[in-house]
Amino acid sequence: MPAVDPRITELRHRIDALDAQLVAVLAERVGVVREVSRYKTDEASVRAPDRVEQVVAKVRALADGHGLPADLVERLYRLLIAELTAVELSFVEERTAR
Closest CA to 92 of 44, 48, 37: 37
pLDDT digits 0-9 by tens, 47-97: 999 999 999 999 999 999 999 999 999 999 999 999 999 999 998 888 888
What global pTM score does this model have?
0.86
pLDDT at site 65? 98
Sign of the C-alpha dihedral computed for residues 51, 54, 60 and 64 taken in this order: negative
Distance CA 66, CA 47 (A): 28
Distance CA 69, CA 76 (A): 11
Closest CA to 86 of 38, 32, 41, 30: 30
pLDDT at site 69? 98
| pLDDT at residue 43 greater than cutoff 80 | yes
Contact 63, 70 (CB under 8 A): yes
Quote the DSSP letter at residue 68.
-
| pLDDT at residue 2 greater than cutoff 90 | no
